[in-house]
């Protein structure tokens, strides 16, 4: 659902000190400037490879961890239509994870290594999945607004320079746009439904507002950024720009349903820029560093799945030859 382009401070520093062969670097950069895609077998700077692995891996983790809060509502979905749509949606997210792990593998890190790094905390996933899905209305809000936020980010990233990632993102965006339709339909049903349905929807919006603002990362004035990443088309838009685009697309759609956001300062200025109360960025850091409401639970579930499934993976490592034939 999400690939972060935010750099840690150490990474930002190293980006500017690693020395590359100037001739190769120039050829590489002019290819990108011409709009060409970089493919797995092509030469690329060490830091380019490293940042892409970090970003795609984090995106893949976000997909499979993001499946967890929604997954718990599949068994509770209130009718056939919603149930089938939700299973298909969560299945898409897992499929995106699979696709993205493969894209990251083209850069030299295996899926197993990435999953291990998820479990040992070396690599992150999107903060937004460390919040609980408390009611059915959360499923509507996640489907509409979290997926909406993810699409803003992913459509931009799909114009990046690394071929396998761009192609994966194009397909992902196509599927996400269906999730958005399902999410919107679900939001509309709740907003136009009974008193209880409106109440749970309003409550869900109140709880998801800050995590959604946090979703795009710290404000530009606060975040470590690198011109190189922009030049290499790894990062294509600033956090503030993406956040503004999201607010512009989605806030009016919620307001028109007579549902509010818990921020009296939220409004669009005449210059087209949205204004809002600065969310608590210490809370953001706390959640990134493991202190969110569901960090421990999410990792515990993934660990359980990895450990409980180990015997299956081991048994498949040694397939008897006669079964390795096409099925149909």
Partner 1 sequence: MSNALKNLLYKMADDALIIGHRNSEWTGIGPMLEEDLAFSSMAQDKIGHAQALYKILNEVLGEADPDTLAFKREEKQFKCCQFVEQPIGEYDFSIVRQFLFDHAELIRYDMLTQSSFQPLAQLAKKVKGEIKYHVMHADTFVKQLGNGTEESRARLQSSLNYAWHLSLGIFEKSEFENELISENIFVGEDELKKRWQEKIIPILEVANLKVPATDESKIVYGGRKAFHSEFLKPLLDEMCEVVRTDIDAEW
Q: How many helices (H) and strands (E) does the chain have?
A: 14, 2
Task: Report, in Å, the least distance between residue 304 CB and partner 1.
Answer: 7
Contacts 24+ apart (CB under 8 A), 75-80: 76/136, 77/136, 77/139, 78/136
Q: What is the DSSP string of 263-289?
A: -TT-EE-TTS-EE-PPP-HHHHHHIII
224 forms part of the interface with partner 1 (CB under 8 A): no
326 forms part of the interface with partner 1 (CB under 8 A): no
Select 76 or 231, whichever has its Cβ closest to partner 1: 76
Task: Report, in Å, the least distance between residue 61 CB and partner 1.
Answer: 12
Member of 8, 16, 43, 78 binding partner 1 (CB under 8 A): 78
Q: What does the buried/exposed string (b/e) look like for 156-171 if buried means 16 or more CB atoms within 10 Å of the residue's CB?
A: bbbebbbbbbbebbee
Return phi, psi of residue 267, to 5°.
-160, 160
Cβ atoms of 96 and 1 within 8 Å: the answer is yes
79 forms part of the interface with partner 1 (CB under 8 A): yes
303 forms part of the interface with partner 1 (CB under 8 A): no
Task: Report, in Å, the least distance between residue 297 CB and partner 1.
Answer: 12
Rg, C-alpha atoms of the chain: 21
Return phi, psi of residue 237, to 5°.
-150, 155
Per 3-state DSSP, the chain is made up of helix, strand and coil in percentages (nearest 5) of: 65, 0, 30
Task: Report, in Å, the least distance between residue 182 CB and partner 1.
Answer: 13
Select 19 or 328, whichever has its Cβ closest to partner 1: 328
Member of 14, 31, 83, 181 binding partner 1 (CB under 8 A): 83
Q: Which of residues 14-73 bind partner 1 (CB under 8 A)?
A: 64, 67-68, 71
Q: What is the DSSP string of 158-186?
A: TTSSBHHHHHHHHHHHHHHHHHHHHHHHH
Rounded Cα distance, 31 and 194, in Å: 57
Task: Report, in Å, the least distance between residue 25 CB and partner 1.
Answer: 36
Sign of CA dihedral 280, 236, 246, 95: negative
Select 59 or 228, whichever has its Cβ closest to partner 1: 59
Member of 25, 87, 119, 230 binding partner 1 (CB under 8 A): 87
Q: Which of residues 109-138 bind partner 1 (CB under 8 A)?
A: 136
Of the candidate spans 4-12, 43-51, 77-85, 284-292, the one that interacts with partner 1 by CB under 8 A turns out to be 77-85
Of the candidate spans 34-42, 97-105, 176-184, 289-297, the one that interacts with partner 1 by CB under 8 A turns out to be 97-105
> Which residue ranges make up the site for partner 1 (CB under 8 A)?
64, 67-68, 71, 74-80, 82-84, 87-88, 90-91, 94-95, 97-98, 101, 136, 189, 193-194, 196-197, 301, 304-305, 308-316, 318-320, 323, 327-328
């Amino acid at each position: 659902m999400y690939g972060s382009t935010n750099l840690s401070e150490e990474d930002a520093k190293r980006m500017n000190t690693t020395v590359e062969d100037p001739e190769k670097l120039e050829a590489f950069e002019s290819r990108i400037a011409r709009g060409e895609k970089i493919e797995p077998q092509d030469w690329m700077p060490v830091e380019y490879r490293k940042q892409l692995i970090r970003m795609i891996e984090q995106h893949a983790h976000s997909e499979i961890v993001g499946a967890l809060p929604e997954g718990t509502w599949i068994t509770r979905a209130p009718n056939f239509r919603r149930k089938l749509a939700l299973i298909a949606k969560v299945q898409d997210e897992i499929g995106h994870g699979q696709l993205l792990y493969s894209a990251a593998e083209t850069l030299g890190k295996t899926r197993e290594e990435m999953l291990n790094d998820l479990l040992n905390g070396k690599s992150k996933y999107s903060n937004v999945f460390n919040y609980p899905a408390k009611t059915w209305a959360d499923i509507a809000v996640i489907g509409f607004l979290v997926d909406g936020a993810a699409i803003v980010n992913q459509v931009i990233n799909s114009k990046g320079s690394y071929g396998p990632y761009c192609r994966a993102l194009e397909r992902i965006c196509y599927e996400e746009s269906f999730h958005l339709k399902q999410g919107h339909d679900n939001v509309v049903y709740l907003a136009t439904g009974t008193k209880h349905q409106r109440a749970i929807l309003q409550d869900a919006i109140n709880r998801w507002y800050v995590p959604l603002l946090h979703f795009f990362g710290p404000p530009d004035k606060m975040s470590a950024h690198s011109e190189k990443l922009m030049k290499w088309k790894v990062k294509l838009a600033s956090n503030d720009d993406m956040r503004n685009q999201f607010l512009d697309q989605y806030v009016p759609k919620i307001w028109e349903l007579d549902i509010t956001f818990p921020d009296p300062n939220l409004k669009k200025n005449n210059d087209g820029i949205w204004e809002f109360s600065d969310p608590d960025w210490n809370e953001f850091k706390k959640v990134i560093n493991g202190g969110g409401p569901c960090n421990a639970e999410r990792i515990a579930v993934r660990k359980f799945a990895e450990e409980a499934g180990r015997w299956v993976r081991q048994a498949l490592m040694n397939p008897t030859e006669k079964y390795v034939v096409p099925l149909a």
